[in-house]
Amino acid sequence: MKAYERVIQLVLFISAIIAVLGVILISYFIISEGYPVIRKVGLLDFLSGIRWAPTQGVYGVYPMIAGSLLVTIGALVLGVPIGIGCAIFLAELAKPRIAGILKPGIELLAGIPSVIYGLYGLAVIVPFIRKVFNNQGFSVLAGSIVLAVMILPTIINVSESAIRSVPKDYKEASLSLGSSHWQSIKNVIVPAARSGITAAVILGMGRAIGETMAVIMIVGNSPLVPESILSPVRTLTGNIGIEMGYAGGEHQKALFATGIVLFVFIMMLNIAANLIPKKAGE
Amino acid sequence: MRNKKTLASICAAVLLIGALTGCAPAETKEPTGNETGTDGVSGRITVNGSTSVQPLAEELAKAFKDKNPNATIDIQGGGSGVGIKSAADGVVDIGMSSRDLKPEEKSLKEFKIAVDGIAVIVNPANEIQGLSMEQIFKIYTGEITDWKEVGGKEGRITVVTREEGSGTRGAFIELTKVESKSEGDRTVASAITQGSTGAVITTVAGDPNAIGYASFGSVKENTDIKLISVDGKACTEENIYAGEYKISRPFLMLTQAEPTGLAKAFLDFILSEEGQTVVSGHNYLKAVK
């Protein structure tokens, strides 16, 4: 019996190691492939260069960094208020019957493959922007709108559980002091859940910055620093996704170097998410 | 004690399975026939030159190897110039070029294996029927930005291009002189960049002000977009084969002298019906109509 237990323990341990090993191997691979280009170009020139012309050996990822950040910020501006509003509604106001319809709907939203979001953006959002603003349609705005919808499930689910985990005493104390339900939500419950809500926003941001397929299809992928939210733009993920197919030699390594930049971004977001205190009210 | 034995035997079994599966493919790869046996020709040749021809040559070599498993064809890039020079110097068995030979290079034996034609496409709603090479050049370098400058209805041109590294983009910028030796690729930075022929077609089909390009083979029967004429010559198979339509180029394979052995077998295969099916399967036009 004990041998059996030990084997199980070993199998579980190996599973755990494989997950961590995956991260280590991928990090090592990306860095060893991409670092030579960064060293050759110079870290500062690589990060601040505004021209990306890989077939001529000019590698500047600044337009893509700006692109990723702009599209992501746009998505947060549109998605966070809706997401938090929806979370408050689900946790505090919705009758069980309505919540029973909304919850599966939101879960379904999370399950839609990103290429379908891209297709929707390409067929509906891009022509809509083209018509309204009389431009090319592919733009920061198109990317932000689609990403805002894509990050909704993350924001709603994490904020809702943060709001639900606020101790009942808080709400009861607030109500017994004479505040209305809305006043309790606004002044007591949401502030008490703010660390969880912040985590939700950061996780949503990570999702937005890492999204590739849907973004490639709708932002136009022009490697230039966007002038406005109506300009076409290329993101870090899009840069890798769109050029990997035919890239060879140094060009390919430069795409791995783009991957390093993306990796650092995601790592910083994860660290930020871990720094947030976990318990409500702190 | 027993536990350790169990563990040891499990490990041994895993290792054994790993070793067996690792060996199996290697064994089947051992050569079985002789040089003139049922496995076709054997030997090794080197091919280098145009990076535009390279992907097609690799596909052709793969198809050739399926029939002649003992033959090895090494294909390298380098550019058309390198291919022509290497073939002339006899450094390689076959050189590849994606441009016609100059008179002084005509001593080489040349085999046209395919024709690469690139169609310039616009939205069907666009009134423009044709553009000159110069107008296309100016549109793609950002000098012309409105359709009214080339005789169309007023509207900002949406320039659609392929990603850097794409063979179609390489051919297009070379033939339209958007790429220059001194300044490199001068495609306007605000151009919408799409990663596939399909995405270019979708973009042009959806935007009345868009202009794009795609290999002729992939758009010739597509009615969602309109193929326009270049320098007054319509983009048709006839005009491409006749060399009238300017955004096209031949794919050549070159040998120093009359090819023999494996080089001959490979070239014969490329020009056979089977080889030419591979050519049209990759959206290039067959060598001969």
pLDDT of residue B162: 93
Interchain CB distance below 8 Å, B167 and A242 = no
Cα angle A225-A229-A232, degrees, rounded to a multiple of 5? 55
Which residue type, as a one-letter code, is found at position A190? Answer: V
- pLDDT at residue B45 tops 50: yes
Distance of CA B29 to the CA centre of its chain: 30
Q: Give the nearest partner residue to B192 out of A3, A56, A138, using CB atoms.
A: A138
List pLDDT tens digits, range B185-211.
999 999 999 988 889 999 999 999 999
pTM: 0.80
Interchain CB distance below 8 Å, A220 and B192 = yes
Q: Give the nearest partner residue to B189 out of A54, A223, A242, using CB atoms.
A: A223
Selected residues 164-203 of chain B with any CB under 8 Å from a CB in chain A? 164-167, 170, 184-185, 189-195, 199, 202-203
Distances (CA, A) of A133 to A52, A129, A218, B28, B282: 28, 6, 16, 63, 38
From chain A, the residues in CB contact with B202 under 8 A are 122
**Phi (first) and psi of residue A277, to 5 degrees:** -60, 140
Cα B60 from Cα B56, distance rounded (Å): 6
ipTM confidence: 0.84
- pLDDT at residue A3 tops 50: yes
From chain A, the residues in CB contact with B7 under 8 A are 7
Is B272 part of the contact surface with chain A (CB cutoff 8 Å)?
Answer: no
B110's enclosing H/E stretch is strand B109-122
| Predicted confidence band of residue A98 (pLDDT cuts 50, 70, 90) | very high
Share of chain A above pLDDT 90, in %: 89
List pLDDT tens digits, range A121-161.
999 999 999 999 989 999 999 999 999 999 999 999 999 99
| Predicted confidence band of residue B9 (pLDDT cuts 50, 70, 90) | low
Q: Give the nearest partner residue to A224 out of B164, B190, B195, using CB atoms.
A: B190
- pLDDT at residue A267 tops 50: yes
